[in-house]
Amino acid sequence: MSDVPAIGLGTWQNTDPEECAESVRTALEVGYRHIDTAQYYGNEEAVGEGIARADVPREDVFVGSKVHAEKFGLAHDEVIEGLEVTLDRLGLDKLDLLYVHWPVGNYDAAETLPAFDEVRDRGLIDHVGVCNFSTELLDEAMDHLDAPLVAHQAETHPLLQQDELVAHAQEHDYQHVAYSPLARGDVFDIPEVVAIAEKHGVSASQVSLAWLLSRENVSVVPKATGEAHIRDNLGALDLELDAEDIETIRGIEREERFVSRDGAPWLEA
């Protein structure tokens, strides 16, 4: 059901303005149609510059950003103010997707999420998403939204497979958007992934991304700056893993999470 493209360019830590703008331009011109940023990343202006530079019509580009409790706050009026600043920085009239970045700080489903409905009704965003939620918080969010929940972004890769969250996305027919899908580069050191990459004559990053994309209702937003890595990641769309490959990765027992923060739902359990 989702309008969220299968693969997007992640821009976290891409804070050099010129490098960021050029990586966004490059990604769009080699075939990406999804760009992911956030207030917290501090690069929305550069991302907007890259979108403007690219020889790709704006209506063909799916742009997502995130409002953050510690940037503007997540009270009703703060969400609207934060979105207006984000749009100004990006140089856009609207966003395709706006996320709650973390359910922390002054996030309150009953106050925060009606602001998302309001900006959607005003035509400032097309779709609503959340990030780093638990299934319980996802259920609560859906109860408070008039708009459909279109995406939940969470760290997901062969070392953090997120079966419960992916199943929830499949059950409720929204997109699970995998960030850090290359496990912060650790996929290059996972023996099972490396062996599958050698078998197919491709990179370990392509294997990790193709494995994620083999799951229903899953998209990926790998971070990359140089053209070679940008193109290599996009090549995952053309890699079809066989059932044995998929089961081999499913069977990895090592588990590691790379992204966390105070107040994260998995710390509250």
The residues assigned a catalytic role are 41
**Burial zone of 63 (CB within 10 Å; 0-12 exposed, 13-18 middle, 19+ buried):** buried
Element (H or E) spanning 96, and its range?
Answer: strand 95-100
32 neighbors 209 (Cβ within 8 angstroms): no
Evaluated on CA atoms 266, 36, 67, 14, the torsion sign reads: positive
Strands 34-36 and 218-220: unpaired
254 neighbors 159 (Cβ within 8 angstroms): yes
